[in-house]
Every structure is written in C-alpha cells, then in structure tokens.
Structure 1
Amino acid sequence: MKFATKLLHAGTAGYGEYGSTTLPICQTTAFKHDTAEEMEAIFTGEKAGFVYSRVNNPTVSAFERRLAELEEGKSAAACSSGMAAISLAVLNIVKSGDEIISGSGIFGGTYSFFGGLYRYGIKTVYPRHSTAECFEKYITDKTRLIFIEAIGNPKLDVPDIVQIAAFAHKYGLPLMVDSTSVTPYLMQAINYGADIVIHSTSKFINGGGNSIGGIIIDSGRFVWEREKYPLFKNFSKFGSFCYMAKLRAEQLKDYGSCMAPLNAYLTNTGLDTLAVRMDRICDNANKLARYLKICDKVQNVNYPGLTDHPDYETAKKQFGGRYGAILTIRVGTKEKAFSFINNLKYVFNAANIGDSKTLVIHPASTIYAADSDEQKVAAGIYDDLVRICVGLEDIDDIQADFGQALNKI
C-alpha cells in the first residue's frame, strides 16, 4: 500500500459501531465500568480500556494509532501541544544529573525548554553542527539522550539521521527526532534509525491552523538498559511498550498535557489531505526559493532544495526529492526586513508554520528575542532574516506578492 492510500485507510478500523466513515468525537470526561474489578484491571494496566480522558480517550487513541502506523512506530501518545510532546518525551527519559546533546539550530521553544531544565539538574549541550563527529566531542558518562530536528527551524540544516542514529546506538543512547517540518509523508524517521519521533501536529499534520496538538511516536526498538536508565526498571515487563507504558503511567497522567478529543478530531480530519498538501507546498517552496534567488533585494536564500545548500544531498536522500515548506531570506537590515513584511498584501505575518496559507515572521525580534547574540547566531538567526513558510496559494500570486514587497524596501 502506497503512502497516500495508507494515509486514508491506516488506523481507521473501528471508527464506530455505526459504520462511521470519519472519526467520531468522544466528548466525555470519564468512562463508566460495570464492576470494580474491571476498573482495577484497567488502572493496573492488566486490561486495555478507558477511564478518564486526561489519560486516554477513544477519539484520541484512534488518532494515535493512525500516526503510529504512518510513522512505522510501535505506539504513540497525543499531547496538548508540540511543546508538551517534547517536554513529556524528554522528561520520560532524563533525571537530575543527566545530560542531553541537542542540535543547535532547533526551534526557539525547544531551546527555551532545554535551557530551563537546569533548574532540575539536567544539562543540555549544543554542538555547533549536527553531525556524529561534532556530537562525539560532547559525550560523557552522564549523556542520556540525543535530540535533533529533521530540518532545523529556522537554521534549515539537515542532519544525516542514519549516521547520527548509528552513533547514538554505539553509545547505548536513544535518538529523538522532531519531524514536524517534514511529516511522515516526506520521511519516516524510524526507518532511518530514530527511536522516538515528535510532531507538533498543530502544523502540517493539521494543515488548517485550527487546533493545537503534539504527538510522541515510539519505535519500540530501544532497549532501556537498567543501569543507565533506572527509571524504566518497573516498566521492563511491558517489553517493546516499555517507553510508552512509563510515559502514560507517569508523565501523561501526572502533567495533564493530554490532547482534547475535539482537537484530535480536527487534526485527524486534516491528516486526510497531507499527501496532496505536502506535494503542493514543497513544489511552491522550491519555486519561490529559486525566484527569490535571483531577486537583487535578497542577499541570501536558505532552502535545503537549492543545490548550493550544504545539506542538499542529505535532504535529497532522506526526503525523496522534496525539501519542505520553510525557507529563509536575508535582506540587509532589520529595518528592511520589517519593511518587507509590512508591505506584503496577503501573506500573513504570523508565529506559525504548516498552515494552508503562506506565513512570514521576523524570528530575531519574536521567537528568539530573549536569546543572546551568540545563541541567535548558533541557531541561524540574524536581524535581517525573515522566515517564510509557503502555503497552498498559486505560486504566481505568491511570487508577485513577494516581488512587490521587496521592491519597496
């Protein structure tokens, strides 16, 4: 079964006893059970079932199964946001005294989360480049996790996931990949060696910008060695579901960052059109990048689909000839960047990616405003840089809007 067909039919069995062809919304807080024994069995994990929507819900569970299958994973847990997914996925692994190695060009929200972990005695280090060679210099006996983004946002570097996965596994470490910017349509990171995959489902998976959400997908392949990962000791009986069993019993239940049934429904509906949307926006982004490359008002265009991008060959290999929706441009000064944004007619100035509409933002004054100059440079942020996330509009109209705005700076 090819991806577009799988997209529409995977994980959709059991949508309801009445033969519903779309996912029903189970909008309830709790679930009743006939006996106390049955409730006890569900609470102790001896029997599958639903008790309370903060822990699991039929609508949310159906969405989780669908994403797990699309990503070739073993199991999944949907969360209230992409940041909730990252937070729970990481906190499920590390404890005070542990260290994380992270790519440097990651999303500002993730960078802020990692920075805040020092309050809990957890240290994060950021090699300048997301390569196994650079990562190796930061390995210590306290390292417990390697985290990267499939495409850095907005640095737009593309790590070689096969190489980094092999490196991580050599040291007995799990590799966590934020695949938000590529979606399972461009790449299933688990097939390249990732152990855990994260998505902010608010973005391309939803596609319409109408609900916040995130999801954690576990490959079920990583062996949580007891001495290095003692927190998993009590969950080893769950075998390949060890990671997810711990996450549901502790992080998801205790922090309350569950996805709401309505958001699962909306995002699941958006998922139906993922393949056709990603084809269109990747094509639009590629054409826009080439158009901007020859604009004399633009000093630099950064897009993995351009042959002069340093990671072009890696991107081509991993993403099957598609390079995502995000590109950045530099226009000389902050003032020119603001003027360009202010003169756009229908491209939205918004703090989001993955919408059906084309979006722009000035990262240095917004998402990364609180970071130091050194941190900004490491993340690929400059005062004259504008991040663009291309949408579904006709490419001629997108180019025309960018062209007229650039001509006014």
Structure 2
Amino acid sequence: MDKNGFTTTIVHSDRRASVEHGAIHKPMHPSSEYAFADARELAAVFQGKAGFTYARQGTPTTTALELKVTQMEGGTATVSFATGMAALAAIFFTLLKAGDHLISSKHIFGNTNSLLGTLAGLGVQVTLVDATDARNLEQAWRPETRMVFTEALANPGTQIADLAAIGEWCKSKGLVYVVDSTLVTPLLCQAKNVGASLVMNSLSKHIGGHGNALGGSVTDTGLYDWSAYPNIAEPYRKGNPTSWGLTQIKKKGLRDMGGTLSSEAAHRLATGAETLSLRMHRICENALALAQALSQHPKVARVHYPGLPDHPQHERARQLFGGLYGGLMGIELIDDLDVFEFLNRLRVLALATHLGDNRTLVLPMAHTIYYEMGPETRALMGISDNFLRVSIGIEDIQDLIGDFEQALV
C-alpha cells in the first residue's frame, strides 16, 4: 500500500496507473491476441519483457486487477486465475513434484481437501495436521518437506491457524509458506505480516463481493528466497530471484494449464474490490451480533465464531485481525431439529453455496460439500448432520436475527 489508506489506494488504483483516455476504470480488453509492429519487440515479450501476446497469459484488464491485489497484500506481484481453486492448483502443481512432502492444515475447505488427494495420487506426500498449534508441524516435518499450507480462517469450522508461529517455523526450515486468506481478506490480515511466502485469495468471495464473477489470485510477499528452492526450472532462474516463484506459477498455471481469468470477470472483481472495506466492516458487525444472539437460543447447540469469547482461538483472532472477526460462522442446531425443515422456513437467508457475498448464505455441510467424504471422515472433521455454514452479508441485522428466530420453531 502507498501512503494513502486502504480504500483510497484501491479506489484510485486504475486512475493513478494512467488509464487510457483519462478513464476512471481500466477498461475491459476482450482481445485474444496482441499484435506487434516490430518483430524484435514480439520476441522480447516472449522472452520475458513485460507485455501481452495471448490472453491465456493475461490481459491489460487482469493486470490492473493484479496490481490492486498486490497493493492490498503489500506484496511484490500477483498472478490472477479463473477461480480460487485454479490458483491453489497452480501453486501445488507448479512448485511441487513427486517425492516432495506438503504439510497442510486439516481444517480446510472440502474441495481443497479433494485437491490434496489428487496431489497425493501424483506422488506428492501430504500430511494433515492441526495447524492451530505450530508444534504439530515440527512433528510432521521430513527432509523432503517443501511447503506448508493453511487457511487463515478455516472453512467451515472457523479454526484459526497459529499463523505467526508457523511463519517463524517455516522461515527456520526454509519452507514455502502458503496462506489462503480468502475469508479474512488483506483488510483483516495481510499474510505477509505472519511470514507467508505466497498468499492465495479467492477473488470470487469478499474481494469481488457481489456474487457476479469468479476469480482467484496468488501474491508473492517478497519474503521467500526462491534461489534456494530446488524446484524452480532453469528457464525461470533469470534476473531477480524474488520473481522466480511467481514466474513459474504464471507460466505453468496460465500458459500450460490454461487457468486464465477473463477480462470481463477481472473488470467486475476490480470494481467490487473498491468497496471491500465498507462491506467487510458491515459484514463483521452483523456476524458478531448474529453470533451473540444465536449463542443464547435454546435450539442452537453451538455457534462457531471467532468473535465469541468461548471460541478456542478468540484471543488469537483479536490480535491478528484488528478487532474484526470475519463473516463466516458455523452453527450446530440441536439434534432433534430437522435441518431441512429449518432451512425451508428461512425467508431472508439464501440457500446457496458461496461465501463472501452481499447476501447472507446458508448451507447444510454434511449433506452437500462434505457428503462424499462419508460419515466417519465428517465426524473426524467435526461436521455433524445439523452443522450449518453461514456466510454473513450486509442486510439489516434485525432482519437476519428475525429470520433465524421465526425459523427456529
């Protein structure tokens, strides 16, 4: 970020980068290819000079969005992808190889868990640990360990990893430290401040915020020495080593794998990012008030929300996130309440699978995202049949509380 505040920097990011014709927003560039008047210039761009050749590897519109995300995260550079999952896949598949070892938090999104299973099937060793205590990583370490991955705020259980301690441990071991910051956003916590090497954001969520575009990003914080990482291919060991890791992620993830973000989606996400701070403050305010109300309701067995004093990592959340606690909560209804009947009585909340939207969304986890895992795995992960994931929106708080009250009969 520059000397201005968070929102001021993002709102004026395009304009300060000299947008064509004095426009306030970077326009959409839908062209698939980019022509050159000079053949030497064309060759230079293919060989690493900044520029555009084919939209699979980026456009002026995606580049403008990447600049905003880099500014938010306080990083050195960002690469955007079609989705958050494409961004994670690019990190894992471009930086790890068969025989390498990855340590991951066990408190992760169901689809990310599935991705790690695919990675293991290709020969990468994966160990899942309880990352709320950094000492568990030491026990899992091996000489082949290359990377550590965790979500800053776990989806859906709301566990908070021992982020700063993990960062210190990864630094001592020379490991790449990857943090998924989707649910806290750089507004609540810049992952650079806890020692992250790479930060992944699902831009589809809070940063875009409006549920109208998919996207993901990987930001290099500038903290990791890529010259010491054994898996950087020779063609990318050129120039300043701080760019090597992200260059390989971009070349392999976009050029080879094709996980490209469209200019239209990038434009929508960049516009949505301008109001991130305004929306997140309202969302966090709503979430805390709703969590406090539901924690007292006789038909709610438990509320998982970092803003509540009984949350296991409440104090850690308070210190890391600056007094805001995010917009995700897990709600466990009492056993004799039919979860489907309850959901069908809701009138304000939307029954939808998404997070970080302006609208409050609710999903029964055992019957949807975690269904394929089976009851035994769900039990190990603490996902009961009456566990609801709720992503809080910007509605009037009394309407949200009232909707729960009328449905909890």
> Normalised by the size of structure 1, how large is the TM-score?
0.96
**1:173-252 map, 5 Å:** 173-226=175-228, 229-238=230-239, 239-252=241-254
Contact 1:220 1:240 in 2 (8 A): yes
Contact 1:334 1:384 in 2 (8 A): no
CA distance in 2, matches of 1:73, 1:66: 10
3-state DSSP of counterpart to 2:232: helix
How many residues were matched structurally? 405
**1:95-244 map, 5 Å:** 95-226=97-228, 229-238=230-239, 239-244=241-246
CA distance in 2, matches of 1:150, 1:58: 30
Question: Which one of the candidate residues 27, 31, 41 is aligned to 1:28?
Answer: 31
The offset of 1:146, in angstroms, is 0.3
CA distance in 2, matches of 1:283, 1:39: 51
CA distance in 2, matches of 1:169, 1:378: 30
Opposite residue 185 of structure 1, the aligned amino acid is L
3-state DSSP of counterpart to 2:10: helix
Question: Which one of the candidate residues 357, 367, 376 is aligned to 2:359?
Answer: 357
Opposite residue 235 of structure 1, the aligned amino acid is Y
Q: What's the RMSD between the two structures over aligned residues?
A: 1.4
Q: Deviations over 1:272-306 (max 9, x none)?
A: 11010000000000000000011100011110000
Judging changes above 3 Å, is the alpha-carbon distance between structure 1 residues 371 and 125 closer, same or farther for their aligned structure 2 residues? Answer: same
CA distance in 1, matches of 2:132, 2:312: 12
Percent of aligned pairs with the same amino acid? 36
Match of residue 6 from structure 2: 3
3-state DSSP of counterpart to 1:230: coil
The offset of 1:11, in angstroms, is 5.5
CA distance in 2, matches of 1:149, 1:295: 30
3-state DSSP of counterpart to 1:145: strand
Contact 2:96 2:231 in 1 (8 A): no
Judging changes above 3 Å, is the alpha-carbon distance between structure 1 residues 175 and 12 closer, same or farther for their aligned structure 2 residues? Answer: farther
CA distance in 2, matches of 1:61, 1:339: 46
Contact 1:106 1:379 in 2 (8 A): no
Match of residue 93 from structure 2: 91
Q: Deviations over 1:223-281 (max 9, x none)?
A: 1355x523344423232111111122222210000100000000011011101000000
3-state DSSP of counterpart to 2:56: coil
Match of residue 340 from structure 1: 342
Structure 1 unmatched ranges of 5 or more: none
Match of residue 42 from structure 2: 39
The offset of 1:334, in angstroms, is 8.3
Structure 2 unmatched ranges of 5 or more: none
Match of residue 291 from structure 2: 289
Contact 2:15 2:22 in 1 (8 A): no
The offset of 1:16, in angstroms, is 2.3
Judging changes above 3 Å, is the alpha-carbon distance between structure 1 residues 264 and 243 closer, same or farther for their aligned structure 2 residues? Answer: same
Opposite residue 65 of structure 1, the aligned amino acid is L
**1:57-72 map, 5 Å:** 57-72=59-74
Contact 1:104 1:378 in 2 (8 A): no
CA distance in 2, matches of 1:14, 1:334: 58
3-state DSSP of counterpart to 2:20: coil
Contact 1:220 1:243 in 2 (8 A): no
The offset of 1:171, in angstroms, is 1.1
Contact 2:14 2:24 in 1 (8 A): no
Question: Which one of the candidate residues 390, 400, 404 is aligned to 1:388?
Answer: 390
Contact 1:73 1:218 in 2 (8 A): yes
Opposite residue 4 of structure 1, the aligned amino acid is T
Contact 2:232 2:244 in 1 (8 A): no
